[in-house]
Chains A and B, each alone.
Chain A
Amino acid sequence: MRVRHASTLSASAAGTGEVQQAVLLAGDPATAWTMSRRLVQDVRMPTHDPPTASWPARRWDVFARARTTLDALEHLAGGFGTAVLALVVLLSVVVTALACLVGVGLPLVPVALRGVRAVAGRERARLSRWGPEIISPGPVPSGLRAALTDPATRRELGWVVTHAVLGMFFSLAGLTLPLNAVRDLTFPLWWRLLSPDEAATASMGLWTVRDLPGALGVGALGLGWIGVTMLVTPGMARLQAWFGRRLLAPDPGTDLALRVAQLTATRAAALDAHAVELRRIERSLHDGTQNRIVAVTVLLGAARRAVARDPADAEAILERAQDAAEQALAELRGVVRSILPPVLTDRSLSDALTGLAVGCPVPCRIDADVPVRCAASVEATAYFVVAEALTNIARHSRARHVVVRVRRRDDRLHLQITDDGRGGANELSGSGIVGIRNRTEAHDGTFMLDSPTGGPTTLTVSLPCGS
């Protein structure tokens, strides 16, 4: 099993022991801290899964593969539908082209091209259902010349040819495999119904079946067909889709325009989040700290007046003034922490998150494995996402446990916050979630909230590390 740095309210037991040992060895706490940190890092080093645990894992793999195969068959069946359409539209294009050679086909060209776009649009919608969305280039340009020189139309024509031939082949081949499997698996049940003339030949004509063992042999061949189906159909479905994704995607230019639109939106969200944040800081400084300090001056003024009149009275007022000054300091510390917690800059993201977990009224486990630090702004965003999420959970979820998982993979920082509360969280119910989305999108990250009624709620955020 892989051992990870797991911080709970009571801290990880092994870690604490090692820290104490380190303190004993090192004598002074500062050195001990670095030592203990190294120890924790050693513990954190990933190790390979031992082979003894592989049997349940492999069975799980078979199920996963079966599911992938079923998905692939569904995709190939859908692909078959569009391949038939592509074949029809390809024939109409060929007919139009031939008519043009004769000199009567020109009026038919726009109709044929609109047909191509319609079929391509259907394929785009189908591919978008199970992968990244493919944006449609819009209607075919009006005017014969514009329509013929439109790069999107040319790519679509290429796709129609490919999909009508190769796509059709993949679909037919892929869908035949499971049919073969069904036929051969059930062969022992119905082989007797076949006339002896037909020789009860097994599916591939490999041998002639004359008795039950021969029929059972054909049944075993059915198992082989299932194996082949599971082996090749996912790849065929992917390959069939790959041509569509390559040829039907908008050109790079369109893509850039879309990207600009998206950046404009996220930039506005960033500025918005920034303004909200400034407003929050202003509010807490004004209504908290400033009022406390005004109270101090009022009480000091009262105390000065009281000194001459009644020193004991003045003493009491001064004590209240001191209390107010201390409160002002505490609130100021709170505000500073909420702007950027010092622990985040001095130590690490996981230390800062552990601090949050300790302060959270719902028992919270931090499972952070981030050996390399990310850019400061990314870590701050991650910190506030977790802070905001924990506040939301404490306020609304009625959860008994929260797990915060942090990983750095492929130059992205992945956060997953799961609670066992009552679920039903959505962006409309509270501004906290909107805030999390805005902060995330401002950093070009992705945000996903899964919260069915009754729970559990999982918030997944992924941020580019930017370092």
Chain B
Amino acid sequence: MRIVIAEDDPLLREGLALLLRAESLDVVATAAGPDGFLEAVDTHDPDVAIVDVRMPPTHTDEGIVAAVEARRRRPGLAVLVLSAYVEQAFATELLAHGSSRLGYLLKERVGRVEEFLTALHRVAAGGTAIDPDVVAQLLARTRPDSGLDRLSPRERDVLALMAEGLGNTAIADRLFVTDGAVHKHIRSIFAKLDLAPTDQADRRVTAVLRYLEDAQRRW
């Protein structure tokens, strides 16, 4: 797996590269700003980009803008965005262009190396990884008429884990239930959200996006 890292803080950039290289992953380039990052993407054609949200010159959302631009240039590029704090506006901006090959995690998750690596591999393989804090924030802000309020607490848990990008088996492991139980919950979620049973994978994404759109409408 070829990785490019964009992070303006030198210590964090080096720490991240050190960690990934120790796991025998191939960090092909590191960049300190959005311009250097886009150049590295063009030159090295990586599989995954790990991007910090706040970068020079204005330290606001340069990382998000750069990530969106990088995906426009290379549609197959997986992007894992790291943020110092939860900001669902960033998440919705990212996911507005589709949720596959995308991740949005708090920076400190990197310290939990196994979980971080799982998320990284999942994103690289075409999945999604959304930070549990982001999902929790989105759930807390649902509107009464969105259909989400009809979900039972257990179904909300399942949807939250789906939003994080976990598959059925992983969800079952997290909630200590069987695969069959997870299946049942998901069917119930689809029914309550009025999602027609056409294509399972598509409906999962739609259900997750329902949160995000809902949160976006509220803003």
The answer to whether residues A295 and B59 also contact, given A287-B54, A301-B110, A302-B22 and a CB cut-off of 8 A, is no
- What separation, in Å, do the CA atoms of A60 and B116 have in the docked complex? 79
Which chain B residue has the least Cβ–Cβ distance from A321? Answer: B15
For residue A292, which residues in chain B have a CB less than 8 angstroms away from its CB?
A: 11
B175 at the interface (CB under 8 A from A): no
Asked whether A134 is an interface residue with its Cβ less than 8 Å from the other chain, the reply is no
Please report the C-alpha to C-alpha distance between residue A147 and residue B19 in the assembled complex, in whole angstroms.
85
B23 proximal to A (CB < 8 A): yes
Additional pairs, 9, CB under 8 Å, beyond known A297-B111, A299-B18, A305-B113: A286-B54, A291-B11, A291-B84, A294-B111, A295-B12, A298-B16, A299-B15, A302-B22, A324-B15
Q: In the complex, how many angstroms separate the beta carbon of B218 from the nearest chain A beta carbon?
A: 25
B84 contact from A286, A306, A327, Cβ within 8 A: A286
B93 contacts chain A at the CB level, 8 A cutoff? no
Question: What 9 A-B pairs have minimum CB-CB distances, sorted nearest first?
Answer: A297-B111, A301-B111, A302-B19, A291-B9, A301-B113, A298-B15, A294-B107, A295-B11, A295-B12
A302 to B23, CA, bound (A): 9
B window 133-154: CB within 8 A of A = none
Taking a contact as CB atoms under 8 Å apart, the answer to whether A283 and B59 are in contact is yes
Cα distance, A313 to B22, chains bound together (Å): 10
Alpha-carbon separation in the docked complex, A317 to B18 (Å): 9
**B23 partner residues in chain A, CB cutoff 8 A:** 305
Q: Quick one: CB contact mask for B24-59 with A, threshold 8 Å, 1 for yes? A: 000000000000000000000000000000100001
Cα–Cα distance between A297 and B15 once the two chains are bound (Å): 10
- Assuming the A-B contacts A286-B54, A287-B54, A291-B11, are A298 and B22 also in contact, with contact meaning beta carbons closer than 8 angstroms in the complex? no
Report A's interface with B, CB cutoff 8 A: 283, 286-287, 290-292, 294-295, 297-302, 304-306, 309, 313, 317, 320, 324, 327
Q: Which residue of B lies closest to A328 (CB)?
A: B11
Residues of chain B in range 83-141 having any CB-CB distance to chain A below 8 Å? 84, 107-108, 110-113, 116
B-side interface residues, number (CB < 8 Å): 19
Which of B15, B19, B110 lies at the interface centre, i.e. has the most chain A CB atoms within 10 A of its CB? B15
B residues in contact with A304, CB < 8 Å: 113
Query: How far apart are the CA atoms of A305 and B113 in the complex, in Å?
Result: 8
Chain B contacts to A: CB under 8 angstroms? 9, 11-12, 15-16, 18-19, 22-23, 54, 59, 84, 107-108, 110-113, 116
Q: Is the interface of B mostly helix, strand, loop or mixed?
A: helix
Q: Which residues of chain A have C-beta atoms less than 8 A from B12's C-beta? A: 291, 294-295, 298
On whether the beta carbons of B110 and A297 are closer than 8 Å, the reply is yes
**Shortest Cβ distance from B21 into A: residue:** A302
Nearest A residue (CB) for B16: A298
Nearest CB on A from B56, distance (A): 10
Residues of B within 8 A of A283 (CB): 59
Chain A residues whose CB sits within 8 angstroms of the CB of B112 once the complex forms? 301
Are A287 and B9 closer than 8 Å at their CB atoms? yes
What separation, in Å, do the CA atoms of A313 and B19 have in the docked complex?
Answer: 11
Chain A's nearest CB lies how many Å from the CB of B169? 24
Give CA–CA (A290, B116) in the complex, Å: 19
Assess the A287–B11 pair: CB atoms within 8 A: no
Please determine whether A294 and B18 come into contact, CB atoms closer than 8 angstroms. no
Assembled-state Cα–Cα distance A317/B20 (Å): 13
Interface contact B9-A295, CB-CB below 8 Å: yes
CB-CB < 8 A to A286: which residues of B? 54, 84
Are B15 and A302 in contact, CB atoms less than 8 angstroms apart? yes
CA distance A70 to B155 in the complex (A): 92
Nearest-CB distance from B119 to chain A (Å)? 13
- Candidate in B12, B16, B107, B111 with the most chain A CB atoms within 10 angstroms: B111
Question: Nearest Cβ in chain A — how far from B43, in angstroms?
Answer: 26
State A287–B111 Cα separation when bound (angstroms): 18
Closest to A324 in B: B11
> CA of A291 to CA of B84 in the docked complex: distance in angstroms?
8
On whether the beta carbons of A295 and B22 are closer than 8 Å, the reply is no
Inside 8 A of A324's CB, which chain B residues have their CB?
11, 15
CA distance A317 to B12 in the complex (A): 13
Residue numbers in B under 8 Å from A298 (CB-CB)? 12, 15-16, 19, 110-111
Minimal beta-carbon separation of A372 from chain B (angstroms):
43
Using Cβ atoms and an 8 Å threshold, which residues of chain A touch B111? 294, 297-298, 300-301
The answer to whether residues A295 and B15 also contact, given A286-B54, A287-B9, A306-B22 and a CB cut-off of 8 A, is yes
B84 neighbours in A (Cβ, 8 Å): 286, 290-291, 294
B59 touches A287 (CB 8 A): yes
Q: Are B18 and A302 in contact (CB under 8 A)?
A: yes
Q: Are A320 and B15 in contact (CB under 8 A)?
A: yes
CA distance A52 to B97 in the complex (A): 86
How many angstroms from the CA of A107 to the CA of B112 in the assembled complex? Answer: 92
Q: How far is the CB of A80 from chain B (nearest CB, A)?
A: 61
In angstroms, how far is the closest chain B Cβ from the Cβ of A326? 12
C-alpha spacing A451/B51, complex, angstroms: 46
